[in-house]
Amino acid sequence: MGRSVLFAAGEGLPFIKTGGLADVIGSLPNTLAKRGHDVRVVLPLYSKIIAKYYDQLERLGTIQIHSGWIDQPATYYKAEVDGVVYYFIEHQGYFEREGLYGYTDDGERFAFFQRAVLDMIYFIDWWPNVINSNDWQTGMIPLMCHACYADDYRYQNIKHVYTIHNLAFQGNFGVDMMESCLGLDYYYFDNGSIKFDTGISFMKAGIVYADKVTTVSPTYANEILSESFGERMDSVLRYRRQDLWGIVNGIDTKLWDPKTDTLLQKNYDVKSWVSGKRANKKALQEELGLEVSDDTCLIGLVSRLTSQKGIYLITDRIQQILDMKVQFVVLGTGEANAENAFKWMESSYKGQAVYYCGYNEELAHRIYAGSDIFLMPSIYEPCGIGQLIAMRYGALPLVRETGGLRDTVTPFNEYTGEGNGFSFGAINADDMLHTLQYAVSVYYDNRPGWKGLVKAAMTTDVSWEKSAGIYEELYYQLCNWQG
């Protein structure tokens, strides 16, 4: 029996990205393909993909998509990157826009996309064992496959995995979508399986109708069963508790590798990190106008500046942080109050603190390489990528114990020397500050302990290998694959 998986998503690297979902789609299928599986990905053909990659795409053909009142053509394209086949669904009116999401007709756009994904399987005559759908943009696929193709055993034999990356965005739309865009019987609304308030939820459909549900860390999988973290989906998630898997994300270890990163002043690895990080810190200080001092503890922050990221725990204690012998570099954009606080910080602490308002991918690499401590005190964090990159670059993460941060960062134990970072539990600015003060004291006063921490961080496995193995185990269980 073949071992084949189709990943359906609203975005994915190397072609298009707005958030962490794209990183997963860019790395997990590739890792599974290297493990011997037939792995393919399907995405909408957005304007930005057309602008950059159109000449590399193979046109497969056009068919008419019928979904409710939708009667529109879909043109399919294909490309192959590193052993993974990517399909793209073209529709000028739906997808050739400036942005990816946030339009008033998003429900219609992604109803069309999901039906076009399922029709594509017949069109190309490739029948995957598993469809792994991701976030609300593809949440209806398990139900549509079950309900709209009931008379075709090939569709009914497909198993479905639904992965939640961001529970806050649920694809909630009016009940009229049932008839107008989805072509589904109102039975599915009346029985409550996709009903959400007075409308329907694409995400709820994925949770209810997939064979298995995954999210991006074991701790987050437990957290979302509670009212506090469940985004009003906690009751249906508790209903699927036995089928809910928490699998932590990895990162692209080729892209994020201090040994080969061309954006750094000096490359380094776990054997040469002392000189490597010293050179990169000096270069970062010179680039940003900080006082050049290779023995000053440098704190880095690369983040969206939102309350979810715990930013106000930091801004409430900026003065106390900078009263320590530290330098502080912040890269990000977000809520106006947070941006203004960091602008004030830079103007008040010239030579000691810098705020780069916006996002700069190249500078992000250099901050990871030049920092000693990476600050990430999120209020909630399904998985998190920043702390994984930081460890790879020998910047010790200081995190709040939530979601994937708790699963990936082990706090320093000064008695045993164990750990790969620092952490605190309460959503409290003073707890964060005390932990940061402790981390800074270890940096200055316990150099053997610090060096052990950096070595442990840099040798932590942050690749997709382990997590891909868990996804593989899940698929094996669903499909009765043999090893």
CA–CA dist 15, 45 (Å, integer): 10
pLDDT tier at 347, thresholds 50, 70, 90: very high
- Average pLDDT, integer, range 239-268: 96
Q: State the average pLDDT for the chain.
A: 96
Q: What pLDDT, in 10s, does the model give residues 388-404?
A: 999 999 999 999 999 99
- Check residue 483 and give its pLDDT: 57
Query: What is the tens place of the pLDDT at every residue in 3-60?
Result: 999 999 999 999 999 888 999 999 999 999 999 999 999 999 999 999 999 999 999 9
Distance, C-alpha 104 to centroid of its chain: 25
> Is-contact 327 285, C-beta < 8 A?
yes
Query: How far is Cα 432 from Cα 436, in angstroms, rounded to an integer?
Result: 6
What pLDDT is stored for residue 87 in this prediction? Answer: 98
**Contacts of 482 by beta carbon, 8 Å cutoff, 6+ apart:** 1
Given the structure tokens 């995400």, which residue do they identify? 203
Read off the tokens for 197.
Answer: 């308030």
Q: Which pLDDT score is estimated for 481? A: 77
Q: What's the pLDDT tens digit per position in 177-194?
A: 999 999 999 999 999 999
pLDDT at 2: 60
- Which residue would you say has higher pLDDT here, 432 or 481? 432
> In this predicted structure, what is the pLDDT of residue 131?
98
Domain ranges of the chain: 4-250+465-479, 273-458
Burial grade of 118 (CB within 10 A; 0-12, 13-18, 19 or more): buried
Measured in whole angstroms, the distance separating CA 434 from the mean position of its chain's CA atoms is 29
Three-state SS letters, the chain:
CCCEEEEECCCECCCECCCHHHHHHHHHHHHHHHCCCEEEEEEECCHHHHHHHHHHCEEEEEEEEEECCEEEEEEEEEEEECCEEEEEEECHHHHCCCCCCCCCCHHHHHHHHHHHHHHHHHHHCCCCCEEEEECHHHCCHHHHHHHHCCCCHHHHCCEEEEEECCCCCCCEECCCHHHHHHCCCCHHHHCCCCEECCEEEHHHHHHHHCCEEEECCHHHHHHCCCCCCCCCCHHHHHHCHHHEEECCCCCCCCCCCCCCCCCCCCCCCCCCHHHHHHHHHHHHHHHHCCCCCCCCEEEEEECCECHHHCHHHHHCCHHHHHHCCEEEEEEECECHHHHHHHHHHHHHCCCCEEEEECCCHHHHHHHHHHCCEEEECCCCCCCCCHHHHHHHCCCEEEEECCHHHHHHCCECCCCCCCCCEEEECCCCHHHHHHHHHHHHHHHHHCHHHHHHHHHHHHCCCCCCHHHHHHHHHHHHHHHCCCC
Cβ pair 422, 439 in contact under 8 A: yes
Task: Could you please state the CATH topology (level 3) that the domain comprising 4-250+465-479 is classified under.
Answer: Rossmann fold (3.40.50)
pTM of the model: 0.93
Identify the pLDDT of residue 19. Answer: 86
256-263 average pLDDT score: 98
* Per-residue pLDDT at 345 exceeds 90: yes
Range 446-454 average pLDDT: 97
How would CATH label the architecture of 273-458? 3-Layer(aba) Sandwich (3.40)
Q: Which of 325, 358, 319 is nearest to 341 (CA)?
A: 319
273-458 matches 4-250+465-479 in CATH topology: yes
Inter-axis angle of helices 273-288 and 361-370, to 10 degrees? 130
Residue 102 confidence (pLDDT) above 60: yes
pLDDT in tens, 52-100: 999 999 999 999 999 999 999 999 999 999 999 999 999 999 999 999 9
pLDDT at 482: 66
325-351 core/surface letters (b: 16 or more CB in 10 A; e: else)? ebbbbbbbbbbeebbebbeebbeebee
State how far the Cα of 333 lies from the Cα of 308, in Å rounded to an integer: 13
pLDDT at 359 over 90: no
pLDDT digits (tens, 9 = 90+) for 110-158: 999 999 999 999 999 999 999 999 999 999 999 999 999 999 999 999 9
What band does 195 get if pLDDT is binned at 50, 70 and 90? very high
Q: How many CB atoms lie within 10 A of CB 244?
A: 19
